[in-house]
Structure 1
């Protein structure tokens, strides 16, 4: 399954720590390793690149600098500050967890795995990261970068995400760990995977442990880690309407428990196989809102990719036809008529936000 590593674990770990201390990126959550800051950064970094997270982290920490300030916030405000990062359940869980930390732990981020795992959104990986990075506990932290580094160092010939692969990666990450240096050791592994041992075109000549990388020795670097089959993308056509009357725009809040729960959106829905987007929008408006509409014009097409599906969003301006109909929403948590200038006060999914930007550009061009 994998070849033996002929360098002692302590040497591998020490070389990684030394390299990290000399080459680490200047990231804001590394400046004081506060438990709260580490926690927020780890939640933000799930499924999101570091470069994208940094500005969100800085803005978040300015508004919510500690657990009490976050716990006192409303969900709408938290979602607004999270807008654009995606996977919004992370933000809702952070808010719930902050309130629980205030209630159960006096505002102090827990320092045991059992207590951390009580918090919504904190699983085994996040708990290990907080213990290691914030409290310098001697526990390994295994993310996708670590899996890739370990798979190449070990020349692992099974998927790192398979049960056998996970055991081998965890075993190696545990053996290499330098006692008392877990904070730097774990970040070294993750940093190495992020900037040197990258998925494509790894910079092997710059790697501090290249001399002992078995995949490099055997010429299998490009084949490690062994890739698991990727799930097929689902393609969706969606029609949405910017419904306007008396100078205001209709928006609605998505219900709890589903995709984008708690976010605001423009009404609309998926087009049936035989429908054009225009026909789908007229149907959806009557089904969702009980309102018959006339389409004024097409705003444009927005394409957006999610984890398992890709959406082609056809957006239209529309008005009630006839005017003055009573809106009766059937599947939302709340709804409002707002002025165009007020749209920035609400958190929208990324595709809807891009639509708002397109509307603003069109208005500016016409003024």
Structure 2
């Protein structure tokens, strides 16, 4: 009988690096809640935060989450089943829920930088970010519009990454993001649509395991312009982008009237919708799954996800914050990392 060989054991997935986010917001309590509600499907994660702050918050909310300080991400896998692993970064100041402190801005920024560095070093599997309070960061000299642009700078990439919002029923990509509606209309171009769609198609293949992604492109105007009677951007900007994508071998269709693009029947016909501006993309995703939506950044050399909500300063420290979106972000990050490793 021929000797049998033992299959090589696949290494355990690396723990996910979760950032502090705005310490006066709900990031800490959704982090505690995500660990408390963990199940067998929850990937291992550690948080880069002030361990004493999380201990105090846990006691305040009556959550009884054991906190254990770690010196390195490698310790998280052993600790995670019994305690929340925290890569301790003391703030040195008292934080009051709902009251952002400018003195904490540097620690918030360093938490993001540390998470990215650990992933780049191969010591963490992906970056998952808790929400930040941009006004406080801007006041402290933060020179980026938000997480996405900061992560692109840390990654050293020239092409701006793309924001995808997703839930089990829908994936959407806004071509223009954090600008006024007037600026979105002025800056929307054929090239920007093509770039966003190309990055999306590549990510659907590598990060979501979709071999032949189908993209639906939204119109800009009511009824997708009604043949030009309600606007001509569909003919002059969006239509040429769809034609260019098809020439590149990408299955892109449209432009479709935005008021019917997100119905249950329509959603079955595509894998992601390319939207022209921020609210066109975010309204349907939040209407479908406000507590479970996820923000994923496409086009980075590492995986990054985030809960699809803000700092919620008005309910911070009350125990009302739901951890569902963060839990979904952690699971999506783990799935994207596994798919990327297989591609």
Normalised-by-shorter TM-score class: under 0.3
TM-score normalized by the length of structure 2: 0.26
TM-score normalized by the length of structure 1: 0.25
Compare the two structures and name the one with the higher helix fraction: 1
Please identify the structure whose Cα radius of gyration is greater. 1
Query: Relative contact order (alpha carbons < 8 A, sep ≥ 6): 1 or 2 greater?
Result: 2
